[in-house]
Amino acid sequence: MVVAVEAASLRRLRPRNSRPAWRPHGDLLERAQQTAIFKRGNVEIWRGDALRFYPAWTSPTVIISDGPYGVSGFPGDPPTAEHLPEIYEPHIEAWGHAALPSTTLWFWNTELGWATVHPTLVKHGWEYRSCHIWNKGSGHVAGNANTKTLRKFPVITEVCVQYVRMVTLPAPGAPRPLALREWLRHEWARTGLPFSKTNEACGVRNAATRKYFTKDHLWYFPPAEAFEQLARYANRHGHRIGRPYFSIDGNRSVTGQEWDSLRAKFECRFGVHNVWNEPPVRNGERIKSGPRAVHLNQKPLSLVKLAIEVSSDPGDVVWEPFGGMCTGALAALQTQRSCFAAERVPEFFDLACDRLATSDG
Ligand SMILES: C[S@@+](CC[C@H](N)C(=O)[O-])C[C@H]1O[C@@H](n2cnc3c(N)ncnc32)[C@H](O)[C@@H]1O
């Protein structure tokens, strides 16, 4: 089973005592310490600090992170980006413990916020995949154009950065667990067969050596069928003593389906690229209190839905630790995913619950 594959990545997080060092809005946040849970179908919004909730949540296939930006955007958001790593680190560590090999993290932030936090993500086993630019369009220049004083061009973008897990597997005789690409080579080397035989195993002229066993950046993850062909061939023709090959538990080879679950889900959509042209949220979608928008950082439902749909299947679990108006929870509801969201400011929590309760499912 995949659960046996990478114990570290599947282990649930131990309850933690540590908190982010930077907590300037203590009073307001303390009021949120009494947990409340709002539920609609399989979608839940929890009131309070997400850090307290992770151990109770089911492992996610998708994490939508839209937390502090370092722009004083909401209570608890520091004024500059320099504190972001210390604020995010306990969350990032917890996500790493809870994540599956198939989990994708979508990390929203400003360009500088992301750059500042990126090393912390890498430190905790998150592998950069791609940076998506949310282009809000030139309409967003209005109110953002004090450029003579600021001496820079107006900013009309945010980023949503895709990360996946750095998956490693135990390998007999190797000094440490190996990344998938290394593990494939290691297992084949153990058979005593030349690498050219991987082509014969897969019934191809040279594609297996060129794609699945290359050491360079052009490496391809073998599809389930090719993986099973390799394992079958290795177990039939490789040294008797080393069998089974391509095994994690030493008793049997990994199945094609299990192999497939060792990488993040991703459905490539035709016509979608890494620039997401979408105006800021407005009109009926924007949650307001009287005439004023409640939350400056509310994300377009369409973009959050896109991220969820391409990286998970119906029934999978989404986490939205920094809920705000809980766009991720609503997107999960509307795409038949389960969701655990958290929001620690009681007023935001109440509005997000109303939104989830009254929106189309
Ligand atoms: C940028 S906003 C999220 C906006 C959201 N994506 C939307 O579309 O409405 C971040 C929110 O996370 C909340 N927050 C920050 N740290 C939190 C934590 N540790 N636990 C729960 N909520 C948190 C803030 O109160 C804020 O409302």
Task: Please write the tens of the pLDDT for every residue from 149-176.
Answer: 878 888 999 999 999 999 999 999 999 9
Q: Which atom of ligand 1 is nearest to the CA of 299?
A: 8
What is the reported pLDDT for 143? 64
Q: Is the CB of 113 under 6 A from ligand 1?
A: no
pLDDT of residue 35: 87
Host H or E run for residue 235: helix 224-237
Range of weakest confidence among 48-52, 108-112, 280-284: 280-284
| Ligand 1 proximity of 299 Cβ (cutoff 6 Å) | yes
Cα 297–104–3 angle (5° rounding)? 140
The per-residue pLDDT for 144 is 66
DSSP assignment of 314-329, as one string? TT-EEEESS-TTTHHH
Residue 35: how many CB atoms within 10 A of its CB?
Answer: 13
For 249-299, write each residue's pLDDT tens digit.
999 999 999 999 999 999 999 999 999 999 999 889 999 988 889 888 899
Q: Which residue has the higher pLDDT, 217 or 145?
A: 217
Q: Are strands 292-293 and 288-289 parallel, antiparallel or unpaired?
A: antiparallel
Average pLDDT, the chain: 90
Three-state DSSP state, 253? strand
In this prediction, residue 294 carries a pLDDT of 86
Query: Of 299, 300, 310, nearest to 62 (Cα)?
Result: 310
- Position 7 scores a pLDDT of 28
Q: Is 297 in the pocket of ligand 1 (CB under 6 A)?
A: yes
Nearest to 344 by CA among 9, 49, 98: 49
Q: How far apart, in Å, are the Cα atoms of 343 and each of 61, 144, 166, 228, 356?
A: 20, 28, 28, 44, 13
* Model pLDDT, residue 84: 98
Residue 247 gets which letter from DSSP? B
Q: State the first-to-last Cα distance of the chain, in angstroms, to the nearest integer.
A: 34
In the prediction, which pLDDT does 291 show? 85
- Which of 19-28, 64-73, 74-83, 220-229 shows the lowest mean pLDDT across its residues? 19-28
Helix, strand, or coil (residue 356): helix
Tell me how far the alpha carbon of residue 57 is from its chain's centroid: 15
Give the max Cα distance, the chain. 75
Band of residue 13 on the pLDDT scale cut at 50, 70, 90: very low
**In the predicted structure, residue 228 carries a pLDDT above the cut 50:** yes
Which runs of E-coded beta strand occur in the chain?
Answer: 37-40, 43-47, 62-65, 104-109, 126-135, 157-165, 168-169, 178-179, 275-277, 288-289, 292-293, 317-320, 338-343
Cα–Cα distance for residue pair 298/276, rounded to 1 Å? 16
The proportion of the chain whose per-residue pLDDT surpasses 90, expressed as a percent, equals 80
Query: Is the CB of 260 inside a 6 Å radius of any atom of ligand 1?
Result: no
Tell the residue nearest (CA) to atom 27 of ligand 1.
324
Over 60: is that where the pLDDT of 17 sits? no
φ/ψ (deg, to 5) at 65: -105, 120
Determine the Cα angle at 15 with ends 10 and 17, to 5°: 140
Q: How far is the CA of 264 from the centre of ligand 1 (A)?
A: 25
**Tokens representing 153?**
């061009």
When pLDDT is cut at 50, 70 and 90, the band that residue 22 belongs to is very low
* pLDDT value at residue 260: 97
Determine if residue 306 is left, alpha or beta; phi over 0 gives left, psi from -120 to 50 gives alpha, anything else beta: alpha
**In this predicted model, what pLDDT tens digit does every residue of 186-223 receive, in sequence order?**
999 999 999 999 999 999 999 999 999 999 989 999 99
User: Residue 6 above 60 pLDDT?
Assistant: no
Pick the CATH number of 36-167+264-354 from 3.40.50.1370, 3.20.20.70, 3.40.50.410, 3.40.50.150: 3.40.50.150
* Alpha-carbon span 293 to 283, nearest angstrom: 10
Using the predicted structure, report yes or no on whether residue 15 has a pLDDT greater than 80: no
